[in-house]
Amino acid sequence: MPSLLEALEQKYGESSTESEGSEDEGISVAIFVPCKSPRTIVPSLLVLNDCDIATAGEKEALVAKCACVEELDLAKNKLNDWPEVFGILQQMPRLKFVNLSFNQLNTPLKNVEVDRNLRWQQLRNLVLNSTYIDWESVQRMLDHLPGLEELHLSMNDYNNVDLCSQEKCCECEKNDNEHEETKCFCPGTVYKKKQQHDGIKKLHFNANPVDKWKEVCKLGYAFPSLESLVLADCPIESLDIEINGDTGCNRNYERSESECESGNTEESPHNSFRALKFLNLNSTRLSTWDDIERLSKFPSLQCVRVQGCPLWESNEYTEHERRQLLIARLPNVEILNGGGAIGSDEREDAERAFIRYYMEKPESDRPERYFELVAIHGKLDPLVNVDLRPEKRVKVTFTCGSNSEVRSVDVYRTVIDLKTKLEPFAGFSAAKMRLFYVDQELRDMQGPEEMKYPHKQLYSYNIRSGDEIIIDCKKKITEK
C-alpha cells in the first residue's frame, strides 16, 4: 500500500519522458522555465480518493509539496492509524477542509500521544463519515480544531451521543464518609454545561441508528451555536424526550415538586437548539402530528425538511392538503421541504383550510393550533360545494306531428341513441329521423336547431328541463 507521498509523486511527479532531450535539434526555441516544474506543484485542492493510502510518507518531502494545500480529500483509502493521520495533517498548516470518510479510524485516539498545543486554526470543515470513530476520539479531535464550523459524522453506527464521558464530566463532590450515600447527577445533566464547541454551526448526522430525541438533544448542548442539523435516515420515532416513561425527573436523587417541574421545562425538545435554523428529518420514523407541532416551538427554526415519514403513508391527504396542514402547524417555518419561501397568501390559505378541516372533526380531536387560528381568522363558514356538471336527467317535451309527450332524458346520451329510443313513439326508423332542439327561453329569438351530429351528447346543446325536441321524417321533407 502506497504512502501519501508516493501517491502524490505518482499523480503530480515529474514525467521521465519530459526530462529526456529531443532528437530534433534543428530549431532553437527559447522557453521561460519557472523555478519549480508545474508537475511538481501540488494544487491547493488535493483529491486522492481510493488510492490505497495507508501512511504519510517522508515528513520533509511532504512539507515541501503540501505546504499550500487548503482542501484535502482522502476518502476511501486504507488509513487506520491516528499517528499517520496526524502526520499528514501536521504538514498542511493551511488546511480549511479535510475529508477522511470511509477510512477505518475506529482505533481510540486516547491511546495516541498528540501534542496538546497542536491546533489547526484555519480548518473549517471536517468530514468523518463512515469512519466509525468513537465519541471520545471525536471529542479529542475537536479540541485541536478551534475554528471548526461544519462537522460530518454520518453513517458511524451511533445509537447514542456521548460527547461528555462520565470520567471527564462528573463534577459531583466525592463524600469521604463511606456510610453516607453520594448523590451523583452525572452524566444525565452535566453534559448541558459542557459548551466547549461554540464554533460549530453545521452538523450532518445522517443514517445513524439513534432513535431517541433525548440523545439528539445532547448534540445541541455540545454545539450551542448549531444552525443546521441533518438527521435524514435516522430511525427517530418521536421528538418527545419523555418517551418510554422518562419524565425528566431523576428518581435517584431528591427534588422538590417545583424543581421537578422546572426540570421538565429545561428538558423540552427544543431547549438545546436555541440557534437552530435548518432541520432535516427526511426518512425518519415520525408518525404523529404531535411531533410536527413540537417543531413549531423551536425558537429560531426557519427551514424544515420532513418527507418520507410514516406520517405520510396514509392516503387520507393529497399532496396539497398535506402541505397546507404542515404550513398551518408551523407558523415559524419559512421554507418547507425545499423550494421558495412560504408567502403570506399561501400561509393564510393554509390556515383557513386547516380550520375548515378540523371544523368537521369532533372537538376532542381538534389540536391546540386549531383554537389559535380561530382566534386569528374567526369561525369560518364551510365552503360551498359547487358542482358545475350538467344535470344528469332532464324532462323534455317530444313532439312528432300532432303527438306530444314529456319524457325524462339522460343528457349524456348521444343523438343517435336518442333517435333509436324514439322509434316506437315516432313510428319510423332512426335512419329516417330528424331532430330539432327548441330552447324554451330563446324560442322567439331563434328557430329550432337541427341536431345533425349523431355522436354528439345531448348536454352539449345545453338542454334543460322544459325544452322541446321536434321529431320529423326525412321522407316528408323530400315529398314536399
CA atoms within 13 A on the CB side of 388: 0
- Give pLDDT, residue 245: 46
- Tens of pLDDT, residue by residue, the chain (480 residues): 788 888 888 887 654 334 344 444 455 555 554 454 544 568 899 999 999 999 998 888 888 888 889 999 999 999 998 989 998 998 898 999 999 999 999 988 887 788 888 889 999 999 999 999 999 999 999 989 999 999 999 999 999 998 875 445 555 544 455 445 444 444 445 556 555 789 999 999 999 999 999 999 999 999 999 999 999 999 999 999 876 544 444 333 233 333 333 344 457 899 999 999 999 999 999 999 999 999 999 999 999 999 999 998 877 888 888 999 999 999 999 999 988 899 999 999 999 999 988 888 888 889 999 999 999 988 876 665 656 666 788 999 999 988 999 999 998 889 999 999 999 998 899 999 999 999 888 877 778 899 999 999 988 888 888 899 999 988 654 444
pLDDT at position 265 is: 44
How far, CA to CA in Å, does 199 sit from each of 1, 143, 147, 428, 466? Answer: 37, 12, 6, 94, 80
Which contacts of 35-43 are long-range, i.e. CB under 8 A and separated by 24 or more positions? 39/12, 39/13, 39/14, 39/15, 40/12, 40/13, 40/14, 40/65, 41/12, 42/8, 42/12, 42/66, 42/68, 42/69, 43/69
Radius of gyration from C-alpha coordinates of the chain = 39
pLDDT of residue 18: 41
Contact 436, 426 (CB under 8 A): no
Can you spell out the DSSP letters for 363-376?
GGG--HHHHHHHHH
Count of other CB atoms within 10 angstroms of residue 332: 13
- Cβ-proximal residues to 178 (8 Å cutoff; 6+ apart), any chain: none
Identity of the residue numbered 13: G
Residue 184 is classified by DSSP as -
Q: CA geometry: angle at 240 spanning 295 and 302, to 5°?
A: 15
Per the CB < 8 A criterion, the answer to whether 47 and 73 are in contact is yes
Contact assessment for residue 296 and residue 321, using Cβ atoms and an 8 Å cutoff: no
- Rounded to whole angstroms, the Cα distance separating 220 from 163 reads 11
Q: What is the reported pLDDT for 29? A: 53
Per residue in 426-463, is it b (16+ CB within 10 Å) or e — as a string?
bebebeebebebbbeeeeeeeeeeebeeeeebbbebeb
Say if CB 382 and CB 454 are below 8 A apart: no
pLDDT at 146: 92
Q: What is the CATH number of the domain that holds 402?
A: 3.10.20.90
Beta strands in 197-328 (DSSP E): 202-204, 228-230, 278-280, 303-305
Residues in the chain: 480
In a domain, 470, yes or no: yes
Whether the full predicted model's pTM is greater than 0.85, yes or no, is: no
User: Would residue 456 count as lying in a domain?
Assistant: yes
- Say if 440 falls within a structural domain: yes
Cβ neighbourhood burial of 293 (10 Å; 0-12, 13-18, 19+): middle
If residue 59 lies in a helix (H) or strand (E), which one and from where to where? helix 59-66
Domain annotation covers residue 379: no
Query: In which element (H, E) is residue 16 found?
Result: helix 16-19
Residues forming beta bridges with residue 450, ordered by sequence position: 436
| Residue 24 maps to a domain | no
**Domain boundaries, position 419:** 393-479
Domain count of the fold of the chain: 1
Residue 467 lies in a domain: yes
What pLDDT shows up at residue 13? 67
Q: 258: Cβ–Cβ under 8 A, 6 or more apart, which residues?
A: none
**196: in domain:** no
Question: What's the confidence (pLDDT) of residue 171?
Answer: 52
- 94: cell is 493551511
Backbone angles phi, psi at 242, to 5 degrees: -95, 15
Other beta carbons within 10 angstroms of residue 464's beta carbon come to: 16
CA–CA gap between residue 74 and residue 102 (Å, rounded): 9
In a domain, 360, yes or no: no
What is residue 342's predicted lDDT score, i.e. its pLDDT?
95
Our CA angle for 232, 233, 239, nearest 5°, is 70
> Would you state the pLDDT for residue 21?
45
Yes or no: say if 2 and 52 are a contact pair by the CB < 8 Å rule: yes
d(Cα 221, Cα 196) in Å, to the nearest integer? 9
